[in-house]
């Protein structure tokens, strides 16, 4: 029987055990990310926290001598078949369907073509080229399921988000995940040798919603790039670089603009603040940094129109997604990051903001209670009532030192979320999966 690992916390439904040490770690793994490329800019389209997760994890795995080859769908013509992302990390572009115009919801019919491309790449190598398959999101899981069986290696899968969990907490007007995804996820949960969950709560959800074997679920928190996301030279310097007013109160939204992420809650909360105290208008500067994504693509101008209807268009400022270095400056410049999401498997942006020395106001959902220490590094808000978010933001407005005090605590808290720790724990999961796979194979041959 396999053992449950929890480097960072225990599950309410599963025993807290560690994988045995000393097992051989893989030399090279195939990592699958069908619907979004690690080379894409996070914050737009389908690129988000999962992209950051894959890039950072792959780099740190390579640093501990585990080579990573990431297979992803080619979305533009003229791409090199293979791109070196970092020493020891290759990105392989696979032709599967038209380059443009396909949302991830349109991709299931292209999985056969994608699998064919993965198999062609594998066929050019000697047997045993890959020791393990690590798939991300359910679409990749189906390709990984077939590849792992064909290659005779274990499959490790990370869900990142789950249809049943998202459907249980839909934003008003959002589109439910289809039954085909639920069925697909259920199949992958049953097929995988190991499932990596971001938090103990996600581990419990896998067991509760998908009947996962608790012994196959490993809890490994994502990390944060502490070299990029750090307090650096502080709020005033960051505001100067970004051209922002020094004396403003700046509640920041950063992420994909879609109902699931609920940027509208921040705008409605700002409208409540101004209704309560119109004199705040000259102090408020509300940046929304990100691009439309998912169901938000149906009305990409919806948030701008909402700001106009609420009468706050003059204080809300929309900005395109930015690279990590500039994103870190946006975090440093903000008075607080606001994350009113309806569902988050972890909330990587929350840790990035805290690492930059900025407190977080977040919904008390998913992994955010792990990422944010309530009333210490920020505030967790139950529910999605804009008035409750306005109450919390008003606390920062009343107390000028609150953001600084919480920001310092946030930066200390984030130090425990380095990617090196996450990579080491993930490598242990790989080693245990390989050990048990070899054991089963030998037993079957007897």
Chain segment 328-360, per-residue pLDDT in tens: 999 999 999 999 999 898 889 999 999 999 999
**Is 47 within a domain?**
yes
Tokens of 415: 């130090």
Say whether both 100 and 200 belong to one domain.
yes
First to last CA, the chain: 19
Annotated binding residue 137: yes
Is residue 68, in this structure, part of any structural domain at all? yes
216 belongs to an annotated ligand binding site: no
- Residues 245, 377 share a domain: yes
Backbone φ/ψ region at 57: left (φ over 0), alpha (ψ -120 to 50), beta? alpha
Query: Does 296 share its domain with 365?
Result: yes
47 marked among binding-site residues? yes
Query: What does the pLDDT profile of the chain (446 residues) look like in tens digits?
Result: 333 333 333 333 333 334 445 578 999 999 999 988 888 766 555 656 788 899 999 999 999 999 999 999 998 888 899 999 999 999 999 999 888 878 878 899 999 999 999 999 999 899 899 999 999 999 999 999 999 999 999 999 999 999 999 898 888 878 899 999 999 999 999 999 999 999 999 999 999 999 999 999 999 999 999 999 999 999 999 999 999 999 999 999 999 898 989 999 999 999 999 999 999 999 999 999 998 765 544 455 889 999 999 999 999 999 998 989 999 999 999 999 999 999 898 889 999 999 999 999 999 998 999 999 999 999 999 999 999 999 999 999 999 899 999 999 999 999 999 899 999 999 999 999 999 999 887 777 76
Residue 322 is labelled as binding a ligand: yes
Whether residues 195 and 247 share a domain: the answer is: no
324 within some domain: yes
Give the per-residue pLDDT at 23.
77
Is 41 marked within a binding site? yes
Q: 25 and 239 in contact (C-beta within 8 Å)?
A: no
Residues 409, 424, single domain; the answer is no
256 is in an annotated binding site: yes
The answer to whether residues 87 and 59 belong to one domain is yes
On whether both 326 and 436 belong to a single domain, the answer is no
Number of domains in the chain: 2
Of 366, 417, 300, 342, nearest in space to 53 by CA: 417
Claim to verify: residue 74 and residue 215 sit in the same structural domain: yes
153 assigned binding-site residue: no
- Does residue 228 lie within any of the structural domains? no
Q: Is 200 flagged in the annotation as binding?
A: no
15 is in an annotated binding site: no
The size of the chain, in residues, is 446
- pLDDT score of 46: 60
Asked whether residue 148 falls in the same domain as residue 279, the answer is no
35 annotated ligand binder: yes
218 & 239 share domain: no
Q: What is the CATH number for 111?
A: 3.40.50.2000
50 is in an annotated binding site: yes
Give pairs for 235-244: CB < 8 Å, separation 24+.
Answer: 235/332, 235/333, 235/357, 237/332, 238/329, 238/330, 238/332, 238/333, 239/333, 241/329, 242/329, 242/330, 242/333, 244/285, 244/287, 244/333
376 is in an annotated binding site: no
The reply to whether 198 sits in an annotated binding site is no
Is residue 8 included in any domain, yes or no? Answer: no
Distance of alpha carbon 395 from alpha carbon 227, whole angstroms: 31
332 labeled part of a ligand binding site: yes
User: What residues make up the domain containing 320?
Assistant: 235-415
Q: What is the dihedral of CA 274, 275, 276, 281, to 10 degrees?
A: 20
Task: Report whether 391 belongs to an annotated binding site.
Answer: no
Kindly state whether residues 213 and 82 are assigned to the same domain. yes
Residue 229 falls within a domain, yes or no? no
pLDDT of residue 22: 59
Please report whether residue 308 resides in a domain. yes
**Domain contains 6:** no
Whole-angstrom distance, CA of residue 247 vs CA of residue 111? 52
Asked if residue 245 belongs to a known ligand binding site, the reply is no
SS3 annotation, the chain: CCCCEECCCCCCCCCCECCCCCCCCCCEEEEEECCCCCCCCCCCCCCCHHHHHHHHHHHHHHHCCCEEEEEEECCCCCCCCEEEEECCEEEEEECCCCCCCCCHHHCHHHHHHHHHHHHHHHHCCCCCCCCEEEEEHHHHHHHHHHHHHHHCCCEEEECCCCHHHHHCCCCCCCCCCCHHHHHHHHHHHHHCCEEEECCHHHHHHHHHHHCCCHHHEEECCCCECCCCCCCCCHHHHHHHHHCCCCCCECEEEECCECHHHCHHHHHHHHHHHHHHCHHHHHCECEEEECCECHHHHHCCCHHHHHHHHHCCCCCEEEECCCCHHHHHHHHHHCCEEEECCCCCCCCHHHHHHHHCCCCEEEECCCCHHHHCCECCCEEEECCCCHHHHHHHHHHHHHCCCHHHHHHHHHHHHHHHHEHHHHHHHHHHHHHHHHHHHHHHHHHHHC
> What's the pLDDT at 12?
35
Other C-beta atoms lying within 10 Å of the C-beta of residue 43? 25
Do 337 and 388 lie in a common domain?
yes
Contact 110, 96 (CB under 8 A): yes
What pLDDT is stored for residue 41 in this prediction?
62
pLDDT of residue 11: 36
Per-residue tokens: 205:
């959800």
Q: Edge-to-edge, what's the strand order for the sheet holding 217-219?
A: 5-6, 217-219, 194-197, 155-158, 132-136, 28-33, 67-73, 89-94, 82-86
- Flag whether 159 is marked binding: no
């Amino acid at each position: 029987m396999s053992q449950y690992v929890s480097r960072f916390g225990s599950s309410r439904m599963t025993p807290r055990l560690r994988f045995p040490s000393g097992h051989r770690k893989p030399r090279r793994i195939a990592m699958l990310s069908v619907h979004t490329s690690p080379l894409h800019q996070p914050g737009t389209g389908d690129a988000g926290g999962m992209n950051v997760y894959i890039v950072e994890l792959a780099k740190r795995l390579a640093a501990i001598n585990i080579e990573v080859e990431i297979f992803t769908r080619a979305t533009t013509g003229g791409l090199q078949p293979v791109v070196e992302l970092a020493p020891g990390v290759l990105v392989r572009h696979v032709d599967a369907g038209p380059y443009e115009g396909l949302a991830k919801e349109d991709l299931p019919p292209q999985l056969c073509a994608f699998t064919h491309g993965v198999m062609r790449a594998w066929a050019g190598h000697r047997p045993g080229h890959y020791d393990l398959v690590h798939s991300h999101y359910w679409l990749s899981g189906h390709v990984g399921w077939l590849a792992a069986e064909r290659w005779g290696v274990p499959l490790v899968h990370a869900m990142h988000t789950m249809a049943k969990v998202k459907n249980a907490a839909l934003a008003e007007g959002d589109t439910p995940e289809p039954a085909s995804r639920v069925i697909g996820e259920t199949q992958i949960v049953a097929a995988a040798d190991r499932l990596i969950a971001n938090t103990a709560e996600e581990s419990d959800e896998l067991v509760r919603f998908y009947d996962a074997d608790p012994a196959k679920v490993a809890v490994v928190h994502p990390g944060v790039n502490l070299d990029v996301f750090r307090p650096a030279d502080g709020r005033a310097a960051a505001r100067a670089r970004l051209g922002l007013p020094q004396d403003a109160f700046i509640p920041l939204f950063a992420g994909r603009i879609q109902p699931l992420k609920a940027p509208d809650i921040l705008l409605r909360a700002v409208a409540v603040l101004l209704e309560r105290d119109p004199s705040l208008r000259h102090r408020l500067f509300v940046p929304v940094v990100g691009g439309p994504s998912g169901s938000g693509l149906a009305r990409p101008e919806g948030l701008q129109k909402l700001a106009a209807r609420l009468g706050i268009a003059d204080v809300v400022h929309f900005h395109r997604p930015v690279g990590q270095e500039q994103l870190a400056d946006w975090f440093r410049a903000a008075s607080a990051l606001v994350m009113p999401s309806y569902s988050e498997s972890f909330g990587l942006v929350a840790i990035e903001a805290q690492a930059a020395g900025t407190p977080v106001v977040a919904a008390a959902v998913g992994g955010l209670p792990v990422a944010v220490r309530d009333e210490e590094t920020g505030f967790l808000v139950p529910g999605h009532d804009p008035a409750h978010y306005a109450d919390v933001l008003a606390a920062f407005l009343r107390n000028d030192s609150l953001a600084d005090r919480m920001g310092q605590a946030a930066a200390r808290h984030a130090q425990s979320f380095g990617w090196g720790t996450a990579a080491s724990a993930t490598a242990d999961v790989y080693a245990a999966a390989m050990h048990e796979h070899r054991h089963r194979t030998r037993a079957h041959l007897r």
